[in-house]
Amino acid sequence: MGKFSDKVVLVTGSSRGIGASIAKAFAGEGATVIVNYLQNQTAAEEVVANCVKLGGDSWAIQADVTSESDVKSMVEEILLEMGKIDVVVNNAFKPYTFDPDNRKLAHELTWGDYEEQINGAVKSTHHVCQAALKAMKKQTGGSIINIVSNLVANPIIPYHEYTTAKSALVGYSRNLAAEVGSFGVRVNCVAPGLVYPTTASQHTKEEVKEMLISQTPLRKIAKPDDIAGPVLFLASDWSRFMTGQTLYVDGGLVMK
């Protein structure tokens, strides 16, 4: 039996990249995994098929997590089908390209640029948490893991609007952890560095990757699978006395 064989896990934005790796890792430990996606149904169904092959139950739900009504419908469907929700991983975010040469500088950004990223990171997480917390409070237990970025601690390249949104998500997570801990619900963050290959990092130039590798004690760039283990740890009983924390998963580039 897997570590999560009786658990119901929702991973937002999990049709590809880090989200898909997290979904498959939970399935490999026996979880029932809900693969949330926005547009690419084919990719989501492929992740579902992989989850089932790995030993977990799984299905896909299309929902725009920045839409409150979409999120309510998604969580209602999960609760109708499973009767509970044990783990939520808020991984979905507004698409962003990590390309230092083509990023907007501070004086070029509009508030709308910031707002898009804040909606993608914080508004979406708020909707999902609000919908899932009712069930988690009734269960007197649950784990929420929000995916942020090591840039919040070390903006080695100033991706202003992206990093500001992820910093806000850290603050949101800490406040939520302080409030819902008495219900047995834990809220933590995982902060990856650059992860390759993903859609967001496909335009990151080799010299940028080499610069990051040279400054990283483990001397490599993370793959999507490298992020899954820390997420599973924070969802498990092994971390049962941890809440409000941010785990930096970047090969030691940030040490806190």
Q: Which amino acids are annotated catalytic?
A: 162
Q: Which residues contact 42 (CB under 8 A, 6 or more apart)?
A: none
Q: Are 187 and 144 in contact (CB under 8 A)?
A: yes
Rounded to whole angstroms, the Cα distance separating 96 from 34 reads: 24
Q: Give the count of beta carbons closer than 10 Å to the beta carbon of residue 132.
A: 24
Helix %, strand %, coil % for the chain, to 5? 50, 15, 35
Q: Are 186 and 243 in contact (CB under 8 A)?
A: yes
Q: How far is CA 8 from CA 60, 157, 168, 218, in A?
A: 13, 37, 27, 34
Q: Give the count of beta carbons closer than 10 Å to the beta carbon of residue 101.
A: 7
Burial class of residue 242, CB neighbours in 10 A (0-12, 13-18, 19+): middle
